[in-house]
Amino acid sequence: MLRLYDFLESGNGYKVRLLLHQLQRPFERIQLDIYNGASRTPEFLSKNPNGRIPALELEDGSYLWESNAIIWYLADGTPFLPSKPLDRARALQWMCFEQYSHEPNIATVRSWVMHPKDTEDRRVMMPIKREFGYAALKVMEGHLKDRDFFVGGAYSIADIALYAYTHVAHEGGFDLKSYKAVNAWLKRVAGQPRHIPITKG
């Protein structure tokens, strides 16, 4: 059976959990308290030397880490990963955008708000990360104005990757009211079969 090393409030972990539920693949979830060093122990570092969740233990005992790599692997050969080469490349394009332009800003601000710590770095970086987070939302809004989903007219792992932290962006103080296309897309994603909330293991 697949074994997922996870932290419940993590959007990166949620991507994997959501896809596993939608694929109806059984798995064991192992909760790691990342804020108290559980992902930095020698035991976990032997599974993922980068010391981050999620990490997925495969049936053969090997490990796969980085959330978007994990969901790409799980989705391969299913409707969640487009079959046409250009659509597959566009799915990867949006997943790279998520990790480079979206997650480092929206997810980081959410984490800082949920786990506050008064440091000079955070005071300096918070407004900058908010600005970049809104810039990423603007890119998404423009793309979704005439589309239901990000790639190929169908729900895919590109949507899962971007949904994970967008749907909880308000927890970091992001105001999504003016992003009408993004909000409509969030509802479409939440309406997919076997959808689960981020709080479900």
Angle subtended at Cα 59 by Cα 98 and Cα 66, rounded to the nearest 5 degrees: 15
**What are the pLDDT digits (tens) for 16-30?**
999 999 999 999 999
Indicate whether 197 belongs to any domain: no
- Tell whether pTM > 0.95: yes
Do β-strands 27-31 and 63-65 pair in parallel, antiparallel, or remain unpaired?
unpaired
Same structural domain for residues 18 and 101?
no
155 and 71 co-located in one domain = no
| Residue 51 maps to a domain | yes
CATH code of the domain in which 30 resides: 3.40.30.10
Reduced to 3 states (helix: H, G, I; strand: E, B; else coil), residue 29 is strand
Residues 56-106 have pLDDT tens digits of: 999 999 999 999 999 999 999 999 999 999 999 999 999 999 999 999 999
In this structure, what token pair is assigned to residue 4?
């997922």
Give the chain's length.
201
- Asked if residue 136 is part of any domain, the answer here is yes
pLDDT for position 2? 98
96: domain CATH number is 1.20.1050.10
Domain containing 106 equals 85-190
Q: Domain count of the chain? A: 2
DSSP 9: T
